Amino acid sequence: MVSYTESAIVDAYSRDASNYPDGWAEAVWIPQSVEELIEAVRECIDRDQPLTLSAGRTGLTAAAVPAGGVLISVKRLNRFALHQSEETAWVWSEPGVVLQELQQSVEAQGWFYPPDPTERSSLIGGNIATNASGARTFKYGATRPYVRRLRMLLGDGEILDLRRGQFRAQQGTLRIESESGRCYAVPIRSIPMPAVSKHAAGLFVQPGMDAIDLFIGSEGILGVILEAELQVIPLPPKVFGLVAFFDSVEGCLDFVEQARHRSYQTRRSGGGDIDARLLEFLDRPSLELVRSQFPEFHPEAEAAIWLEQECTETTAMPLLEQWYELIAQHSTLADATWVGLDAQQQERMQRLRHAVSEAVYERICALKQTKIGTDMAVPEPYTRQLYFLYRQLADRHRLEAVIYGHIGNAHLHANFFAGSEAERHRARRAYDEAVAQVLRWGGTISAEHGVGKLKKRYLQQMFGTEVVDYFRRIKRVFDPKWLINPGTMIDR
């Protein structure tokens, strides 16, 4: 195992994409095999040494940032293999596989792994631990439904081999047996869950649930992912992408409502009409942020939507026409729509979306600002209200803001920029007011980034003390010494 104690290296590993400044560790360990990872974690348990798991460090909530002890990076555990039979296929994967590499490899063999967090340099272990989701979640859901098996090392040194369907909660208890025969019993309660299509805050608990789902999205606080099996599906025969520009935000939001409604109808009826697999929103300030890279944006655009539609050679043109008609009903700029028929054009659209997230980061570095970024989702009927809530809060608190994201899932990111201490204070107030309103609408404080070290207060606000205590009790079942990922999601 490679191990570092040099402060420059330890400091670099003590940060993720959230820029949370308070990470610290005594050492960084980088196991070169799953066996070394198991040995490393068991050594920590024997020594009562806290440990934090780190994958691609693209997290935005400091979940992988250490709060003392040892940081264990899984990035060298990067083997994977596609297994195919006539009807199905799945990928066996170690936790350090880069998402993009896995996706490209299976696509080259005619299969498709749908989960697509915008940051595809993230690793499979990090994706499973955060139940990562992305643009295509609108059609395909988050990471969870694609995880069919997980091998987990627990905080007591035991190993669980969890195959979906193997252990299910019955009569209020989830009973699980480890590879060595140790038994675990977790009381399963019914807790009020937000009525949203994306939710990543707190542990997943549901009557009748499958044990594997407790570990997916648990931000690494219950144990270490050693290996996983991921379901893949047949690669759609053809896809086209569109970027549509709108002369008003209202027109754009009306378009989204219609596009979503017709996509759902198509899925229910089994085909024929349009069915977006992603619907991504960019407001005017987001477009301005990346205009230098994409000078062909229509100058009058107040908002834009990037969408993708799966099709065949014969359905491509009729579907394209249906989309064009729908865009033209809501925008006078329909003729400016970008059409992406080939992979290169579609990658450019994907780059546009990614460029906005990157430009936010570059701007705060260049102007020595910070940003307060939201990750809230609301029940779908409140999509419009969510946009106007963010915009009004930015105006009322005199903050510059960009609003963009996964509008298909009623999930928008607002980034409030703050330079001075006074602006930071106002941005935090805007954030708090947004949380309060989103919770009143039945939404979630985190649709995809998780809680990490930054949103614990909001988790408490969302679920209340009693439920957070219940999460603590679940952690103690699997990590009795409270050694794994201390300070992430819940405090001791």
Ligand X SMILES: Cc1cc2nc3c(=O)[nH]c(=O)nc-3n(C[C@H](O)[C@H](O)[C@H](O)COP(=O)(O)OP(=O)(O)OC[C@H]3O[C@@H](n4cnc5c(N)ncnc54)[C@H](O)[C@@H]3O)c2cc1C
Rounded-to-integer distance, Cα 149 and Cα 164, Å: 6
CB 179 within 8 A of CB 68: no
In 61-87, which positions are buried (b, 16+ CB within 10 angstroms) versus exposed (e)? bbbbbbbebbbbbbbbbbebebeeeee
**To the nearest whole angstrom, how small is the minimum distance from the Cβ of residue 432 to ligand X?**
22
Q: Which of 158, 213, 219, 302 binds ligand X (CB under 6 A)?
A: 219
Residue 17 is a binding residue for ligand X (CB under 6 A)? yes
For residues 189 and 203, give the distance between their C-alpha atoms in angstroms, rounded to a whole number. 12
- Binding to ligand X (CB under 6 A) within 91-120 occurs at 95, 117-119
Residue from 67, 214, 224, 244 that binds ligand X (CB under 6 A)?
Answer: 224
Name the residue among 408, 479, 396 with its Cα closest to residue 432.
Answer: 396
The residue from 23, 134, 340, 443 that contacts ligand X (CB under 6 A) is 134
Site string for ligand X, 71-90 (x = CB under 6 A): ---x----------------
Q: Report how far apart, in Å, the C-alpha atoms of 367 and of each of 21, 26, 418, 419, 428 are.
A: 18, 33, 10, 8, 19
CB of 415 to ligand X, least distance (A): 11
Q: Does 350 interact with ligand X (rule: CB under 6 A)?
A: no
Beta strands in 284-345 (DSSP E): 303-311, 338-340
Task: Single out the residue of 14, 103, 130, 374 in contact with ligand X (rule: CB under 6 A).
Answer: 130
Q: Is 448 in the site for ligand X (CB under 6 A)?
A: yes
Question: How many chain residues touch ligand X (CB under 6 A)?
Answer: 36
| By the rule CB under 6 A, 70 interacts with ligand X | no
Cβ proximity to ligand X, 178 vs 266, nearer residue: 178
Q: Does 127 bind ligand X (CB under 6 A)?
A: yes
Identified binder of ligand X from the candidate list 10, 25, 51, 64, rule CB under 6 A: 64
Tokens standing for residue 126: 């990090």
* Distance of closest approach, residue 143 Cβ to ligand X, in angstroms: 8
- For residue 228, which phi and psi values (nearest 5 degrees)? -145, 155
**Cβ nearer to ligand X, comparing 17 with 459:** 17
Select 331 or 488, whichever has its Cβ closest to ligand X: 488
**C-alpha closest to that of 382 among 334, 428, 309, 447:** 447
CB-nearer residue toward ligand X: 96 or 340: 96
Q: Is the dihedral of CA 195, 199, 201, 205 positive or negative?
A: positive
Contact with ligand X (CB under 6 A) among 30, 40, 45, 132: 132
What's the maximum distance between 2 C-alpha atoms anywhere in the chain?
67
CB atoms within 10 A of CB 177: 15
Q: Does 16 bind ligand X (CB under 6 A)?
A: yes
Residues interacting with ligand X, by CB under 6 A? 16-17, 53-60, 63-64, 74, 95, 117-119, 122-123, 125-127, 129-130, 132-134, 219-220, 224-225, 357, 448-449, 485, 488
